[in-house]
Chains A and B, each alone.
Chain A
Amino acid sequence: MLQLNFNQLWRYQDEFLHGMSLTLLLTLVATVAGLAIGLAGAAAAGSRFAALRLLVRSYVEVIRNTPALIQLFLIFFVLPYAGLRLPPVYAAATALSIYMGAYATEIIRGGLASIPRSQVEAGQCLGLTRWQVFRHVILPPALRNIYPSITSQIVLLLLGTSLASQVSAPELFHAAAFVESRTFRSFEVYAVVCAIYFTLVLAFRLAFAGIGRIAFRWPTGR
């Protein structure tokens, strides 16, 4: 039976902290970029042009049905052959954004599609312009529908940033590998890292729940 020893890890606080900050940064960047892609994708999915719709459809399906790890490898190892050598952090941010974008597209598209057609027509009957219908009739309930899925997707993204360690972007999981190589306390290191991730996830979930409670206070009135 091996002995557990966590004492050696205290010296590496800074490594863990730096890793954590990059993990959070990657999450933030991929969330913002992913939401932007998602908005554009959802708009394109409802476009008049069949080619554009097909393009968005294929993007979403390809990304959602292949492992993020392989997407990351494709971006990191293949782009240099096209003359574009991305540093690990940028490659990871790109891959995670594209990954998040596909899920966001699907979530936002679904949220907009969940608004009954009759409500839009009712808005038009009241003489609202197209923008007003979107802003006052479609958007508020759509946001409310989208919010839970998007936030849980962000939490999954936070966990998914650990993949960046596989192209040696120095985020939390990579910091773990570094500390492990110095201390040889493999199990202790990964137990600590798992605990840090869990704490982050818990903080995110609580924050999202709090924001959701404030932002979507109005009654559904059904």
Chain B
Amino acid sequence: MRGFTISDFLTMLAAVQWTATLVVLALAFGAPLALLLARMCTGRSRIARLVATGILQLVQGVPVLGLLMFFYFGMPVFLGIKVPALVSVGAAFTIFTAAFLGEIWRGGIQAVHVAQGEAAACLGLTRWQTFRHVIAPQAFRIALPATVGFLVQLIKNTSLASVVGFVELARAGQLASAATFQPLLSYACVAAIYFALCFPLTLWSRSLEDKLNGAR
């Protein structure tokens, strides 16, 4: 048994890079998917709407732990090969991000007044141009506070990757706690680091919201 030292804390700080990696992976692959799902939900095709809404409902109706396990054990089943934990965990958070961001952005797109789209159509803009130059910029503004708020949820939820043994911040805390028998210090440090990551984002999201409401 050894004491809790500064090097334990530094190990945790180093583990933040894996938390960050997960967040970046989830956003890089999840955000385009989310945009696609949001577009499908608000599009003209009935089938696309049904499919996209189904996916959103399905993913939002399952615990993140369930998603993680599903991909962790499922990817070898479907692909027939063993994949590194980073891939299966990354896939789970990609789907998670796609569903929740998709829902937020769908709301943003639908919040833009219908007349805006009609006006753009009257001006002879194509559907893509309408989305790109009329709908998207306004929807972006409306959805930005919730998007930043979702980032906080995403960062917090990456802690669940520890369950399948992926060594990120939460797992580093568990390891430090097991090695030093100092759960209070270990988990308090982990919580403090998460707080330091999330709280600025929360404040930013709130100030964006105030600005948005002020502009109305």
- Of B25-33, B109-117, B139-147, B185-193, the segment with at least 4 beta carbons within 8 Å of chain A is B185-193
Least Cβ–Cβ distance between A145 and chain B, in angstroms = 15
Q: Is A39 an interface residue (CB 8 A)?
A: no
Given A66-B198, A202-B61, CB of A194 within 8 Å of CB of B187: no
Answer whether A77 and B159 are a contact pair too, CB < 8 Å, given A66-B191, A197-B61, A198-B62.
no
Which of chain A's residues has its CB closest to B62's CB?
A194
**Consensus secondary structure, chain A interface:** helix
What is the size, in residues, of chain A's interface with B at 8 Å between Cβ atoms?
36
**Which of chain A's residues have a CB closer than 8 A to the CB of B64?**
159
Known: A159-B63, A202-B61. A67 touches B157 (CB 8 A): yes
Stretch from A11-19, A28-36, A45-53, A184-192 that touches the partner: A184-192
Q: What residues on A are CB-neighbors of B69 within 8 Å? A: 176, 186, 190, 193
List 25 contacting pairs A-B, 8 Å CB cutoff, sorted by A: A2-B80, A4-B77, A61-B202, A65-B199, A67-B157, A67-B160, A67-B170, A67-B194, A69-B160, A70-B159, A70-B173, A70-B187, A70-B194, A74-B183, A74-B188, A78-B184, A81-B184, A159-B62, A163-B160, A165-B65, A173-B63, A190-B70, A190-B74, A191-B70, A197-B66
Residues of B that sit less than 8 Å from A by CB: 57-58, 60-67, 69-70, 73-74, 76-77, 80, 152, 156-157, 159-160, 162-163, 170, 173-174, 177, 183-184, 187-188, 190-191, 194-195, 198-199, 202
